[in-house]
Amino acid sequence: MKKQIKKLALFCIIALVASCSKPELDNTDETLATPKVEIVESAKDWGFPGDDEWQIPHLVGVYGPSSLDAYEVGTYSYFLPKDVLASLPSSLRGFRIRFWAENTFGFLIPIQTDNVGASTSSLSFPVYGSGSTTRWRIEYMVYNKKTGSVVDSKFKDVLVTN
């Protein structure tokens, strides 16, 4: 009986050591991977400002929620200046969104740039960094489809809770 208990104890110790022997570096940490902001949908109309910002729609800028939880969907709208609307016909207007994220040193670094079909998009931000919150910056750009040159751009900072 003592021999069987010793064998059982030895077996448990071997099983415990075998399960813990995997190096921690082999585990993939999702905060170390390059994040990808998900554009949930891209609307074809002007949309509405976010729930926390009910400004007059003709004021120039990017409107939408200033804070979100990670993977929560927020709708952002870019209202263009009147001179851009007048000088660039809608058939030549293209929209891009560039996403910036704040790194551990407090610097904003560009993460990705996507072409979108309209000035309103629903976005979902991933977990990024090791802190409890991350500051993201959305840069909406309107460009001339014919020349590819950026005509105007506006920023919006979003605080994402990881």
Q: Which of 40, 137, 145 is nearest to 95 (CA)?
A: 145
Residue 29 covered by a domain: no
Q: What is residue 68's predicted lDDT score, i.e. its pLDDT? A: 93
User: In CATH, what number is assigned to the domain containing residue 103?
Assistant: 2.60.40.10
The domain total for the chain is 1
Residue 27 covered by a domain: no
Q: What is residue 5's predicted lDDT score, i.e. its pLDDT? A: 74
Alpha helices, H only, 21-99:
82-87
Tokens (6 digits) for 157? 């900072």
pTM, whole model, 2 decimals? Answer: 0.64
Residue 2 covered by a domain: no
- 72: phi then psi, degrees, rounded to nearest 5: -80, 145
Cα dihedral 36, 37, 40, 42 sign: negative
Which range of residues forms the domain containing residue 53? 35-161
Residue 21 covered by a domain: no
Residue 17 covered by a domain: no
d(CA 10, CA 97): 59
Residue 132 CA, distance from chain mean position: 15
Tens-digit pLDDT string for the chain (162 aa):
777 777 766 666 676 556 655 554 444 444 455 666 666 655 544 444 444 444 455 688 899 999 999 999 999 998 888 888 889 998 999 999 999 988 878 788 888 888 888 888 899 998 888 888 989 999 999 999 999 999 999 999 999 998
